[in-house]
Structure 1
């Protein structure tokens, strides 16, 4: 979508609308500056307002940059060796300054500004006359999806927050609600969105939210609350459309380059490109590239702030594929010193370079989404889309829901096997693998599924939510398991660090309506 339509001016427009309703400096009005009262009049206005809501993906506090630190590096998949100590500390549960921008406040601000833009659409578009009611419904449905997506992050990261459902001015004091109310709003928005959105869009609008995207995200919200029967029902809709709307790409790597975007495995992806190379403000050169790659790449290529944990290599190498080779996902997901020996038929170079013993030592770097497949260094403008929800994830979630609702491991394994048997992965079925005992009980299957999800979905932003859903962050036993994979969990305090502290400035400015999280 955003690679096909101009969203930059729409972002500028939304910024003007946002700021125009605050102060009445000398009561002077600029007749050329749009305001809430003059703007929301036509179908074109509605579409521009919606595009401005989508443009919020191009902010540092989202998946564009810093949110991956929260989800990838704070989980047991990754860690940070950034020389910026405060940044690294926020991936290892050393939270001192609750107003640390890159670790906390940037997410809160970007999420709530994004919600504000979605709320503008949901407040004003219903009053705009449309030639076709379906077109209006689709605008509203997309805004509902986007608002739900942001509230999903708030519920996951802080477990409470302000529930704002209409545009507010600068005098508004946020009043907190618990996670249950946030999740209820996510459910309501996504249920409504799924009923309004199309199954697919034409080529000019590819990348917009669809009914399947709304249902998949709704399933995730249900699963986080252990509502597995409801989640299974939503996922069933996507499963029933395998081979028509959805499916797995034969080549795993097709999901992470800019060559095969919006393919059949994509349920929802953020549209990045390298056409604009400015900053992340609301100006005409606003950056629209994927910036995480710059922070994860090895030194001399990128900033090497984010790295992979070594246990992943060991887990990938616990079994061979049907050709007797190592799992190709290991090659595509991680760089490490012995990778050329483990994959003698693959390119041994990294961004065209040999392994640098002096600068890189024995560290492990994150290859997934890197652009070394076509260039020799990273920057802040990687062009590859971020696949927020893939059909492989849907299959693995569906398997989890089957056993959580009384189905057998054998029944659930069918869907795990689809992912394992992808042509480029070519692993044996679970029944014929070294993990066959996973089919002996629900508990054994779910434990194996935890690893199957890591091997397929590592560094795609879902591991933190998974750890929370599985209860691994709730007990010392769970934390001890995570410590065995990630030393940062030695700093983890049960009933504290499973949620972030509320930005202190927000607490201080709320007149007591927003309180700090427990144990902070």
Structure 2
């Protein structure tokens, strides 16, 4: 691991999790930690917390499959995977509600993560610490992480079990509605923000901070259209510009394994390529970013995930102040005519020329790829995943300004910071071909939807954005999405804005969990 030593701790937490189970002979291993022998010391508390972080290294998270739900399920991407069931789950063809990679693994990985956070929150308050600040920071991180996973449950399924204590295998989860999930996310993040530091030392980079808690809390508020509350949380981060946070001059610094944990990072998942095992809980547990293998062109990766062509067209609608195409297009997508659009950039892809036979006219996702330093992908990319960036904060703040009565001109100040980043070098909105966006609230918000796509595409927020903007709630919204992404021809209003609850969870709940409407 780069900063947080969590691999061995992941193994330890698994032992704690399974310690109450006995084999057929009912023989206990005296050397195996149990909940009765483990949660005693400050070191135990730290290990237990690090085991919560270790859950980022599971396929159902951003490590691999969650990007299929958020990137490829939105209008930004699509799948041509020969694995038909995998591709179907990006185009709203949900037949098998127990499809592991598309549904059940998300549910399991989220709730195991919540279980581990619950262990910390249940046991650590009873442990004596020499420094209460350290104790509170451990608790605050666990609150942040639990909220992060409940945020995903609310976003994907819109209801689920609300479990706040560690439970044994006999527990039957009882569902709560979406509002209860968001309320818990709010409560956890408010509590976390009061305990967490503004920053960590070099050995602890990647841990949650007050800024991360406030940013995620703002996102939770915005998903519920609580824009005034979100704006107040975002204000704290805006006020820290030039001291804690800011934009990197080079847009690409946010997506390579160079310059990680930089000033633009609010929270990022720490990946590396040192451990090259599987995704179990042993000492060689993989800690690499695996999405890159699935998004890379054939012959380099699996090309299961691809970009929609409309993004290229949108990037090319305006030139920067030097009369060139928006450099974000080059950094975010591979496509056949990219060398002509960017004659001053490297024309090769992973050191190769475009393969007409294998790649045709498809658009590939360059963001987070490792083609900048090697010639093929594998399951061990070292890039950290920047879950929340300061650019996102600026764009959210602009949205909150106009949603709380501010003017488009006031909000444009923050959009312009993103547009005029040194490497992007676009004109301000006022001086662009989109100047009409400042004419009204509705015009500004519509332009902001595109500004977010051009800055944040393939970073996992588009699906939440589409839900917040109501585009998944009306036929007009779906028609707009269809014009960009043919998969939305399969979208059924009132049904596909949420996933089906894994059927095995419904069946095993003794009626306490019910299937989502329409399924």
Query: What TM-score do the two structures reach when normalised by structure 2?
Result: 0.99
Question: 2:466 aligns to what?
Answer: 467
Summarize deviations over 1:215-256 as a string: whole Å, max 9, x none.
000000000000000000000000000000000000000000
Aligned: 1:241 with 2:240: yes
The 5 A counterparts of 1:4-403 are 4-23=3-22, 25-403=24-402
Q: Distance in 2 between matches of 1:211 and 1:5?
A: 18
Q: Is the 8 A contact 1:22 1:169 kept in 2?
A: no
Unaligned runs of 5+ in 1: none
Q: Distance in 1 between matches of 2:471 and 2:114?
A: 30
Question: 2:495 aligns to what?
Answer: 496
- Residue 27 of structure 1 deviates from its aligned partner by 3.9
Question: 2:442 aligns to what?
Answer: 443
- Residue 9 of structure 1 deviates from its aligned partner by 1.1
Q: Distance in 1 between matches of 2:203 and 2:518?
A: 49
Question: 2:421 aligns to what?
Answer: 422
Q: Distance in 2 between matches of 1:94 and 1:36?
A: 43
- Residue 25 of structure 1 deviates from its aligned partner by 4.5
Q: Distance in 1 between matches of 2:440 and 2:480?
A: 20
Runs of 4+ deviating beyond 6 Å: none
Secondary structure, counterpart of 1:177 in structure 2: strand
Q: Distance in 2 between matches of 1:46 and 1:216?
A: 26
- Residue 24 of structure 1 deviates from its aligned partner by 6.7
Q: Distance in 2 between matches of 1:451 and 1:71?
A: 17
Q: Is the 8 A contact 2:328 2:455 kept in 1?
A: yes
Secondary structure, counterpart of 1:196 in structure 2: coil
Q: Distance in 2 between matches of 1:513 and 1:4?
A: 41
- Residue 7 of structure 1 deviates from its aligned partner by 1.3
Q: Is the 8 A contact 2:41 2:127 kept in 1?
A: yes
Give the RMSD, CA atoms, in angstroms: 0.6
- Residue 516 of structure 1 deviates from its aligned partner by 0.1
Q: Is the 8 A contact 2:3 2:270 kept in 1?
A: no
- Residue 23 of structure 1 deviates from its aligned partner by 3.7
- Residue 30 of structure 1 deviates from its aligned partner by 1.4
- Residue 31 of structure 1 deviates from its aligned partner by 1.2
- Residue 21 of structure 1 deviates from its aligned partner by 1.4
Unaligned runs of 5+ in 2: none
Q: Distance in 2 between matches of 1:261 and 1:115?
A: 27
Secondary structure, counterpart of 1:273 in structure 2: coil
Q: Is the 8 A contact 2:334 2:363 kept in 1?
A: yes
Query: Size of the alignment, in residue pairs?
Result: 519
Q: Is the 8 A contact 1:272 1:290 kept in 2?
A: yes
- Residue 28 of structure 1 deviates from its aligned partner by 2.5
- Residue 118 of structure 1 deviates from its aligned partner by 0.4
Q: Distance in 2 between matches of 1:502 and 1:76?
A: 23
